[in-house]
Amino acid sequence: MRRCFQCLCNKAWACSVSEIDWDARGSQGTKFGYLIGQAGYFHDGHSAVDGCFALLDRSFGESEAPFTELIRISGQTCVRIFAEHGPYEMKNHLKAKGYC
């Protein structure tokens, strides 16, 4: 996003799809309609913003609210390391170690 929109370079950025551990909350998906339904809300396309706020503020048992996790995680630096040109027989070993 920041490459496409220079005005966002100095703005905070967070992604509720990739930065919230929906799996840990018992969700089997990350799409808004699915999440909002699992949370017990009815999704009306005209009130998507209200639905987002309700979902992100909702408590999921013992875990912190999704919005709290989103703010906490988005403030952390994240890097992705690629293991390129490795021997084919190392493919599964590298993947198990978290390499892309």
pLDDT at 89: 92
* Domain total of the chain: 1
Indicate whether 8 belongs to any domain: no
Which domain range does residue 65 map to? Answer: 15-96
Look at residue 40 and tell me if it is in a domain. yes
Residue 31 lies in a domain: yes
Would residue 75 count as lying in a domain?
Answer: yes
Q: Across the chain, which distance is largest between two alpha carbons, in Å?
A: 52
Does the residue 21 lie in any domain?
yes
Q: Is the pLDDT of residue 2 over 80?
A: no
Residue 82 resides in a domain: yes
* pTM, to two decimals: 0.57
68 CB burial (10 A radius; 0-12, 13-18, 19+): middle
39-92 per-position pLDDT tens digit: 776 666 656 676 677 777 676 666 788 888 888 888 888 787 888 888 999 989
Residues 6+ apart with CB under 8 A from 65: 56, 57, 58, 59
Which tokens hold the place of 88?
Answer: 């084919």
pLDDT at residue 93 greater than cutoff 80: yes
Whether residue 47 is contained in a domain is answered as yes
Residue 4 lies in a domain: no
